[in-house]
Structure 1
Amino acid sequence: MNSNELKEFLDEKVIQYNHPNFIESDPIQIPHRFSIKEDIEIAAFFAATMAWGNRKMIINKATDLMNRMGNSPFDFVMNYSENQFDKIETFKHRTINSTDLSFYLKSLQNIYKNHRGLENSFHFKKDETDSFHAIERFRELFLEISHEKRSEKHLSSPANNSAAKRLNMFLRWVVRQDNQGVDFGIWKNISSSQLVCPLDIHSGNVARSLKILTRTQNDWKAVSELNLKLKEFDAEDPVKYDFALFGLGVFENFNRVSPVK
C-alpha cells in the first residue's frame, strides 16, 4: 500500500471499531457505568491501571473493585481512610495488591483535595506535541505522598522509556472528543492532537506489519516513531488510529499474517 491507500484502509478500520459495540468487550465499559464526571474519571483511571492481561479478567476485577467502592468511586475516594481498608484488603489483580490500592486511593484523595482534581493533575503545555512531560508531571504529583516503592511500578514512566500504555489509554478515554460515544471527551483543557497511541503488543505488531513502525520494542521510542506517522494521517486526532491497530490485532489477528508489501 502507498501512504494514501494505507490512510484510507486505517480510516475504514477506525469507523469499524470506533463504535458503541466496542464497549461491551473492552475495559472502557467500566467508566461507562457512571454519569458524574469524577466517577467516570476515577473508574477510568482504575480500569486503565488494571488493563493488562486477559480483557475478561480485567473487566471482572475492575467490576469487583467498583463493587467494593459501593459503585460510588468519587465518594469512596474522598472519604477513604484506614477504617475502610477492610473493604479492599483481599483485593488483588496480578501484581496490584491492597497496599498499592490503598496508596492509590490516598493519592487520588490528595489530588482532589489539594490539586483541583484529576484533570488538573495532567498539565499539558500548549507547545507539547505528545504526553511525555504531562505524564511525568502527573507521576511526580501522584507520588508526592508517602508510599511503598513497589507501588511506583504500576505508574509507568516515559522518562524510563516505558510506552506508558495504560496511562495513555486512560488519557484517550477521558480527553478524546468522540462522536461515536466510545471515548468520553470530558476533559476540555487537553487537545486530542497531544495524545499518543497506547502502544501494546497488538497495536505494535499490526503497526510493524503495516510498516508504519520499525522499532522492535514497545517502548517510548516506538511510541514517538508511531506518533509521527499517525500525525501524517490525522494531525488533530492521531490517537483515533488506536481503534484500527488494536481492532486489527485483537479481532482480525492481522499481526499474524504476512506483513504488507
Structure 2
Amino acid sequence: MRLAVGDVDVAEYVTEPEVDPLNGPRPYLHPVRTLAGVEVTDVLPEDHQWHLGVSVAMQDVNGVNLWGGRTYVRDQGYTWLDDHGRIIHAQWLAQAADSFSERLLWLGPQDETLLTETRTVAARAVPLGWELSFSYELSTIQPVTLGSPATNGRPGGAGYGGFFWRATPGPTTTFTASRTGEESVNGSDEPWVALTGPGPYTLVFRGLSDDDRWFVRTGAGGYNGVCAALAFEKTVTVTPDAPLSRSLTILVADGALTREQITA
C-alpha cells in the first residue's frame, strides 16, 4: 500500500516482501521520498542485503535472528547459523490514504510465535516537509529477551536493533544539537539526530525511550543509516505484564537543513 501527504505519494509499504529467508523477511517502507520526489531509503543493498528500507528488526530475539545476515557469536564473531526467523503481516487494523495500523507476528525458525506486534504508521505535512510517525508495541505470553551484537560481545558501538532506516548511498553527514559526525553521534541519547544525504535531503529522527540509543552510520561505517537501538549496551526483556512500546517521528525534508532550522 501507499502513504500520501495530500495528493503526493511519499512512501510505499511492502507487506509481503520477496526476501531470502537468510535476510530477515519483514514488512518495510520503500521507497520513501521527500515531497519533491527525492528518494531517501535503500533496499537490499549489496553491502548489507538484509537492510530493508524502513523496518523494525532485532538480531537476537531469544536466540533467533530476525535481522538477517550472519549472527554475532561471542568470542567467534559473525557466523552463519540456522537461527533465522521472519516477521509477517497478520492483520490490518485500519487503513487510510495517510496512515495504517496492523498486527504482525515475530516468528522463529519453526514458525513459532515469539512476539506479537501492533504497529501504527502515519504521514502528515509539517512546515519543513512532511513527518512520518511510526509507533509499535511488542507483546508476549512468556518472557522474551532482545539483544544485539553489542550485548553478545561485539565492540565498537554495534548495539543496533529496533527501528532502522537504511538511507540512500552517497555523501552523508549526521549531527545533533551539540554533536557532529558518526563517531560522536553514535551511541548518544540526544533528543534528535539529523542525517543529510544527496539530493539534498534531511531526515530528523526523534523519540528515544528508556535506555535506547542512536545507532548511526554515515559512510565511515560502510553505509548510511539510523537506528533507534533497543539494546545498545544491555538486553531488554519483554514480559506479559510489560510490553515494549516505542513511538518515533521522522521529519523528511528537501534540502540540507541547519541546526537553527531544526530547532526553530
**TM-score clears 0.5:** no
TM-score by length of 2: 0.29
Q: Which has the higher helix share?
A: 1
TM-score by length of 1: 0.29
Q: Which has the higher strand share?
A: 2
